[in-house]
Amino acid sequence: MDGPLVNEAVLGRVKGWRPYVEAKLGFRNHWYPALFSRELEEGKPVEATLLGESILINRVHGVARAIRNRCLHRGVKFSRRLECYKPGTITCWYHAFTYDWKDGRLVDIITNPSSALIGKHKLQTYPVIEAQGLVFVFVGHEEPPALAADVPPGFLDADRTIHGKRRVVRSNWRLGVENGFDASHIFIHKGSPLCAGNDIALPLGFAPTQPGTGTRPSIGAPGPIGLYDLLGESAIPVFEGTIGGETVLEGHFGEKRVADNISIWLPGVLKVDPWPQEGMQQFEWYVPVDATTHIYLQTLGRVTASPAEAEAFRQEVDDKWVDLALDGFNDDDVWAREATEEFYADNDRGWVEERLFEADIAIVQWRKLASEHNRGIQRPENL
């Protein structure tokens, strides 16, 4: 990667959250969900790019494994033509260097079985944990913490069933986070089919009554580090939109009140509770792929009492909530992020030229918290 990843002149002008602006490729030494467990089959490696790093993930003898997608010999990607001749190994298509999935060790070179390199070199491997139907990969070189340090409270509860979808969005991951945690962005959802289809109350926005308030941090080992949005407690919901005193729009006056508890957690995952209705929660990740793309991993959760209930919930998500909420509501968010990308990607000028207003207090506090408490910034030299 040629040149600096972030405009140095912009970094010199950013105050309060410079590390956040530097983290165009995300934060290192954190757990990230790469895909759903159902997407990973035995002996069928899947390529995933996380924080700019190309990674191969495979299920080997039932266990999820991850290695760097780059042969040590000439640097080619294994994924250009996958060749696995023996269970538990992967062979490079170019010169037949063969590696063990478990530890990345070079175990053979088919074209030169007496090579002195065999047994002396290793590919980078990545810690992997499967939980709640997701495959989490730890990207970094530090000793990984427990997964609970990088997911929202309640996500790992044994009786909670999680189900959802994964897609790629053409914007930087930070625009995804800030879109999700931005209380006033609900204006873009005013025509969402979820409003009428689920009879929810949804204002056009919020007018803060106490400037400078509206968030509460959660910082305390060994749990996750995050921020609660309290704007609903320190602001007036705006259901009637006016211009010059004349009413031009109205919010949705539904019977159901949802989204009472909204929080954001490092390295970049939102929790909305309840959503899209009472008894359910939405957990969504914004996983950096590269500087202009992120994985949008959307999940819904509900406490279930039996395998049958769990399966019924998954079916309900597929039959109803994907269309109504994960697509019908969140498609607006995807569109907004991609529309915002141009401004912030244009020589990074968005970070200096943006003009935040009172309701953006949650975004400001998130930037500061992430700048202070991340475990490292992903830089080009790590790729």
Give the CATH number for residue 79: 2.20.25.10
Given a cut of 90, whether residue 277 has pLDDT beyond it is yes
pLDDT tens digit sequence for 278-317: 999 999 999 999 999 999 999 999 999 999 999 999 999 9
Distance CA 324, CA 322 (A): 6
Same domain flag for 111 and 196: no
Token pair listed for 5 = 């990843």
Q: Which of 71, 95, 129 is the last residue of a domain?
A: 129
Same domain flag for 65 and 163: no
Q: Which of 88, 103, 129 is the last residue of a domain?
A: 129
Q: How confident is the model at residue 2 (pLDDT cuts 50, 70, 90)?
A: low
Distance CA 372, CA 376 (A): 10
Q: What type of residue is 23?
A: A
Token pair listed for 373 = 């408490």
Distance CA 360, CA 184 (A): 8
Tell me the DSSP string of 37-76: GGG--BT--EEEEETTEEEEEEEETTEEEEEESS-TTT--
The structure tokens 């060749």 sit at 83
Same domain flag for 234 and 333: yes
Distance CA 261, CA 309 (A): 25
Given a cut of 80, whether residue 112 has pLDDT beyond it is yes
Supply the pTM of this predicted model: 0.95
Same domain flag for 256 and 148: yes
Same domain flag for 125 and 238: no
**Between the CA of residue 25 and those of 173, 176, 288, 292, what are the distances in Å?**
8, 13, 6, 9
Look at residue 311 and tell me if it is in a domain.
yes
Give the pLDDT confidence score for residue 207 in this predicted structure. 87
Q: Are the C-beta atoms of 374 and 47 separated by less than 8 Å?
A: no
pLDDT tens digit sequence for 187-241: 999 999 998 899 998 999 988 887 766 788 998 777 899 999 987 777 888 999 9
Task: Give me the number of domains the chain comprises.
Answer: 2
Look at residue 4 and tell me if it is in a domain.
no
Domain that holds residue 62: 30-129
Give the pLDDT confidence score for residue 232 in this predicted structure. 74
Look at residue 17 and tell me if it is in a domain.
no
Token pair listed for 282 = 């939405």
pLDDT tens digit sequence for 153-175: 999 999 999 999 999 999 999 99
pLDDT tens digit sequence for 350-374: 999 999 998 899 999 999 999 999 9
Give the CATH number for residue 378: 3.90.380.10
Give the pLDDT confidence score for residue 3 in this predicted structure. 60
Distance CA 125, CA 127 (A): 7
∠233-236-240 over CA atoms, to 5°?
150
Q: Are the C-beta atoms of 256 and 278 separated by less than 8 Å?
A: yes
Same domain flag for 110 and 183: no
pLDDT tens digit sequence for 307-334: 999 999 999 999 999 999 999 999 999 9
Same domain flag for 182 and 254: yes
Helix, strand and coil percent figures for the chain, each rounded to 5: 25, 35, 40
Give the pLDDT confidence score for residue 159 in this predicted structure. 97
Distance CA 347, CA 167 (A): 26
Q: Which of 105, 129, 153 is the last residue of a domain?
A: 129
pLDDT tens digit sequence for 115-127: 999 999 999 999 9
Q: What is the mean pLDDT of the chain?
A: 94
Distance CA 177, CA 174 (A): 5
User: E strands, 88-214, where?
Assistant: 89-91, 97-100, 106-109, 128-131, 134-139, 160-169, 201-202, 205-208
Same domain flag for 97 and 175: no
